[in-house]
Amino acid sequence: MTTPGLERALTASPLLPLPPAAAELLRTLGAPPRLGAHLRAVHDVAWTLTDRLGRLRPDLEFDTTAVLFGAATHDIGKIVHPEELSGPGHRHEPAGRDLLIQYGVPIHLARFAGTHGSWTEPDRGLDDLLVSLADKVWKGARVGTLEDRVTGFLGGAPWEAFLVLDDILQGLAARADERLAFQASFPV
């Protein structure tokens, strides 16, 4: 059940399109336009983040396809808990994971809906941390402890790894106002 607002959120703007399976799922579930816009913004950031990291650290092991799908669906549980579109809450995280599994998404991809807000857990791998990082930096937020965890995966001298990541994140944060304006142009 696609609304014109959701369709515009999924297709308008220079942001990269969502993976087709994620976009179709949002259409099927009748996602609010604001959620579609938010997921597009986070996915766009995740694409640039994984692209730059892959070019700068070609030996770094992460699953780009999984990270991009995770970024494109991480907040899908807000369809079940729409009050969390405009207010705080974490109920959307397990609800999103369960919703994705219910619609046939494999657990290794559905997990991001449940892990993106709990990146401090010691068992979070780089894929999970990249989705969490994209979900922060899309709006210009920098979270030192999260960035430190990602830097730990980059290898080499810690200061050099920090500089690599910091350069990428500064560039991404610089466009936060554009992404925030895009998201705000859609109703909750």
User: Which of 65, 5, 69 minimizes the C-alpha distance to 35?
Assistant: 5
Q: What is the dihedral of CA 168, 169, 170, 175, to 10 degrees?
A: 100
For residues 188 and 32, the answer to whether their CB atoms sit within 8 Å is yes
pLDDT at 13: 85
Q: Output DSSP code: residue 36.
A: H
Return the amino acid letter for 148. Answer: D
Residue whose pair of structure tokens reads 């609010």 in the numeric block? 32
The pTM of the full predicted model, rounded to 2 decimals, is 0.96
Which tens digit of pLDDT belongs to each residue from 53-93? Answer: 999 999 999 999 999 999 999 999 999 999 999 899 999 99
Please give the tally of structural domains in the chain.
1
CATH number of 149's domain: 1.10.3210
* CA dist., res. 179 & res. 60, Å (int): 28
SS3 38: helix
pLDDT at residue 2 is higher than 90 = no
Expressed as residue numbers, the domain containing 101 is: 4-184
pLDDT at 155: 87
